[in-house]
Chain A
Amino acid sequence: DIQMTQSPSTLSASVGDRVTITCRASQSITIWLAWYQQKPGKAPKLLIYKASNLESGVPSRFSGSGSGTEFTLTISSLQPDDFATYYCQHYNSYSRTFGQGTKVEIK
């Protein structure tokens, strides 16, 4: 089974900071990777699909890159609404596999 590993587990940042979260797959997943934002008590929200495609309605400060085994989610200028937990997810026809999450906290 493919394993997804995110780093860091926790990230402290300030409003306006550029933030990068990394996700590594245990084997190549080409571009079949998504990123989600989750706030406490809420369902996850899709941000990025197919590694670099912005989901409709998601602010352009969010971007994704990578292919194969290494991927990044970048928030170009962190906003107050962005403090949340972020998950990467590999997906294919059979299943989905999530990373363990990265909590973005206020510095």
Chain B
Amino acid sequence: EVQLVESGGGLVQPGGSLRLSCAASGFAFSTYWMHWVRQAPGKGLVWVSRITGDGTNTTYADSVKGRFTISRDNARNTLYLQMNSLRAEDTAVYYCARWGSSGNANYWGQGTLVTVSS
């Protein structure tokens, strides 16, 4: 059974940093590109970042470029999101997600809440 379990969320002050983790199981993790998607309270879904299976190529939404870094450890079957220079508008539930090559076979974690507030 495919499972994605996020952790690392919490309350952080503006300008602070946080690292999210996503532990994957039940599939060949290194063969899948992985994504982070966020959802601010009461708002819609926003794609944040993606990383290729071998970790060599990454892309980011303009809103987080230069502040967030996606990475992965295929030996530990874990995806990461390092978030620096956090702003109030980064407050959201952060989901890790995986899709198949045609956009199917989609799985999401349960999400982890990040709150940026003083």
- A residues apposed to B, CB below 8 Å: 1, 32, 34, 36, 38, 43-44, 46, 49-50, 53, 55-56, 87, 89, 91, 94-101
A-B contacts counted at CB < 8 A amount to: 52
B72 CB within 8 Å of chain A: no
Interface residues on B, range: 20 to 34
Q: Are A96 and B37 in contact (CB under 8 A)?
A: yes
Using Cβ atoms and an 8 Å threshold, which residues of chain B touch A38?
45
Complex Cα spacing A101 to B39, Å: 12
Complex Cα spacing A21 to B74, Å: 39
Complex Cα spacing A55 to B95, Å: 20
The verdict on A95 contacting B103 (CB below 8 Å), with A43-B109, A43-B111 known, is no
Contact with A along B14-51 (1 / 0, CB 8 A): 00000000000000000000010100000011110010
Q: Are A44 and B104 in contact (CB under 8 A)?
A: no
- B residues apposed to A, CB below 8 Å: 35, 37, 44-47, 50, 59, 61-62, 95, 99, 102-106, 108-111
> Nearest A residue to B33 by beta-carbon distance?
A93
Q: Which of B45, B59, B95, B99 has the most CB of A within 10 A?
A: B45
Q: How far is the CB of A85 from chain B (nearest CB, A)?
A: 8
Which of A36, A49, A50, A96 is B35 in contact with, Cβ under 8 Å? A96
The verdict on A53 contacting B47 (CB below 8 Å), with A43-B110, A94-B59, A95-B59 known, is no
Q: Are B47 and A98 in contact (CB under 8 A)?
A: yes
Q: 10 A-B residue contacts at CB 8 Å?
A: A34-B106, A43-B95, A43-B109, A46-B106, A49-B104, A55-B104, A87-B45, A91-B99, A97-B47, A100-B44
